Structure 1
Amino acid sequence: MFFAGIDLHKQSITVCVVDKDRNVLKRKRLMCANEVAIVAFFKELGCFRAVVEATASHEWFVKLIESLADKVLLAHPGKLRIIAESTQKSDRLDAQILAEFLALGMIPTSYRPTPRQRDHRCLVRQRNTVQRRITSVKNRIRRILSNHNADRRDLFTKAGQQFVRTYDLSAADRFSMNQLIAEWEFFCQQLKAANQALKEFANTAPIRERHQRELLQSIPGVGFVTTEVVLSEIADIDRFDSQKQVVAYAGLAPGQRESAGKSKELHIEKSGSRHLRWALVESAWQLVYRVPRWKTIYERLKKRLKSKKAIVAIARRLLGMMVAIMKSGEPFSATHQPA
């Protein structure tokens, strides 16, 4: 059995092959555009295992060689710190370290979503991108009107848009405003199309995924958008052994610093998906407004942590409850309490 470490870049890959005793047998630099040469190189290895870092563009490469390999592992970039912190960093060294860690069985692996999970995540993130663009355009429209002391709460209703279109602006401001309105209308159409694509995707869900949607939407304040974000970003709830693991994955776990027997709680780690954190915080606010028991918990936390930290703490507990509900298969009820 040979062990291949691959340092993957946009234009090229650097491969280092070692044996079980970590003796370097081969080194090779191949161009990503030449897939025939890549396949030919790995075919010549015979029985081998490979490892590549889970970068944004790894999927095409894994698909290309996985039928040739005994096993292809995705290395977790954040956990494989020895490469990132190396003072003698190079593509050759990175590939060799990956190969040696693979031979030792010490690769910290990263989860590889299924094709359906990847498609789901793609649709959800595209929808969120469109939503952020809508928010950005609306803020710029408000900025122009604020310069004229003409901003109003109902700007994006029918009456508000009539006001925007007829308000007396300078030629430059009117030109900018007309373009921004056109942008806003375009992105609103894109958001409608993205929502429709997500609904059609949900309609093709297997039974278990469909049931998980129903479970999540039984929670007050958790609607269509939050449900899709949580399901797509977490992917497979069974890959986590505990609520703490999911919270850490979402980047909602507070960091800690300990010295001389004293510990201090730091800010949340923010190591996971920002889409997931955003959705959980938004849903946490809704849960606090709708469920008295959760509002009481929030008010108590607010006195000690202030509002922003308090709502993050509620989001963290909400995620824990979501995990418990999905694992148990029981919908939300009034007896559910913050974890």
Structure 2
Amino acid sequence: MPERQSHDQTAIRTDLGAIFVSLELSRSTWLITSLSPGAGEKLSKHSIQAGDIAALLARFAQLQQKASARLDKLFPIIAIQEAGLDGFWIHRILESEAVESHVVDAASILTSRRRRQAKTDRIDGETLVRTLLAYKRGEPRVCSMVRPPTADEEDRRRVCRERKTLLAERIQHTNRIKGLLCAQGVFDYDPLLRNRRARLDDLQTGDGRPLPTRLKAQISRELDRIELLIAQLKIVEAERDALLEPAGETAPTPAVMLAQLKGIGSQIATILWSEALYRHFDNRRQVAAYAGLAPTPWKSGSIDHEQGVSKAGNPRLRTTMIQVAWLWTRHQPSSALSLWFQERVQRNGGRMRTSTIVALARKLLVAFWKYVSSGVVIEGAVLQTA
């Protein structure tokens, strides 16, 4: 009986007609876990040095040779890896070598719900292989595969992300200067004004003394960093604005179309384009789910209530859309979506504004998607004046 069960399982693997491989990546070593046709349920594990693509491809060739010797047939490689620190460069190399490669969202993989969950690279590698098997069999909701962007699409996202990082650093140094001066009784100094250097020389403490020498030197060095960040912000913003320039007679990009709407600036338009609207979506549910703005039900027996939005999507896109929703009610008050928001809030007696603005953000994102992909005009929306 056990022999028959092993034969049946082997037949299932052979019918799938491929060698299934998972890559468990770290900074020091890569663990290659594989399941080959004709080998039953036995999983093979092999470690190589991190970043050694030649050794990885050699291991793939070795797996193909062994499977071919057993069954006299050449089997393709199907690989899977988790989306993480290594990005998508390994995925691109595998595809260039005619390897079917998949990148999975690690948070979507089903795991044990026991109190203490065992976790090792060995266990993770086996889990990835079995997840890939289930995915190729067509099992629904077994995991969520990531759609890797192209190299150009990935590089385009750097502009808005770098600007956000630079702004955070500028705020950090500005707050540090204000905190140092607050301890001396100075409360009206703004490090971002153009006369910051001259103003610093004239400052006095709350008890009428000149600023201490070492404190003044420290603040001066902080101003050096702020001025460097201001210069870098100007460069990044110039690159961002260049993305919004129309390219001759070709069709306008989604960012250009969005920037024409009143209340949508160049920064928001570029974020929406680079983070979401460059992708293909089949329906509005996919659009809302990608932003993490889809509702999450909780139904069991007589229990039936909503848990709010899933927050499982792109956090940058979700944060931006919440900001856009508030701006939309201010700059597009006569649009159909703003009227819907106002009517909904009035019906609730002014309550639940936060949850309603999230619903408006979801509706707006779907409207933007229809606008840039199919040219569907947003009802009541006003374009910016030249």
Regarding TM over 0.5, the answer is yes
- 1:99 corresponds in structure 2 to 129
- 2:145 corresponds in structure 1 to 109
Distance 2:309 2:199 in 1: 43
Aligned mate of 1:89, from 119, 124, 131: 119
Contact 1:14 1:30 in 2 (8 A): yes
Once the two structures are superposed, the pairs formed by residues 1-339 of structure 1 within 5 Å of their partners are 1-19=18-36, 23-24=41-42, 26-46=44-64, 47-82=76-111, 87-104=117-134, 105=136, 106=139, 108-147=144-183, 150-152=186-188, 156-158=192-194, 162-169=198-205, 170-171=211-212, 172-201=214-243, 210-234=252-276, 236-238=278-280, 240-293=281-334, 297-299=340-342, 300-301=344-345, 303-306=350-353, 308-332=354-378, 334=380
Distance 1:274 1:139 in 2: 25
Contact 2:277 2:369 in 1 (8 A): no
TM-score with structure 1 setting the length:
0.84
Distance 2:316 2:198 in 1: 34
Distance 2:266 2:44 in 1: 51
Please say which structure displays the higher CA radius of gyration: 2
Deviates more, 1:323-332 or 1:107-116: 323-332
Contact 1:50 1:69 in 2 (8 A): no
Contact 1:237 1:327 in 2 (8 A): no
Deviates more, 1:142-151 or 1:317-326: 142-151
Q: How far off its partner does 1:219 sit?
A: 2.3
Q: What count of residue pairs does the alignment treat as equivalent? A: 334
Deviates more, 1:47-56 or 1:131-140: 131-140
Contact 2:33 2:46 in 1 (8 A): yes
1:334 partner SS: coil
Contact 1:250 1:273 in 2 (8 A): yes
Q: How far off its partner does 1:292 sit?
A: 1.9
Q: Deviations over 1:250-269 (max 9, x none)?
A: 12334443455343443543
Gap runs ≥5 in structure 1? none
Contact 2:272 2:317 in 1 (8 A): yes
Q: Deviations over 1:184-208 (max 9, x none)?
A: 2111111111112333455597987
- 2:9 corresponds in structure 1 to none
Q: How far off its partner does 1:309 sit?
A: 4.0
Which has the bigger relative contact order, CA under 8 A and spacing at least 6?
1
Q: Deviations over 1:102-152 (max 9, x none)?
A: 233155311111111110112221121112222223333333444556444
Distance 1:267 1:4, change over 3 A: same
Deviates more, 1:256-265 or 1:93-102: 256-265
Distance 2:352 2:181 in 1: 36
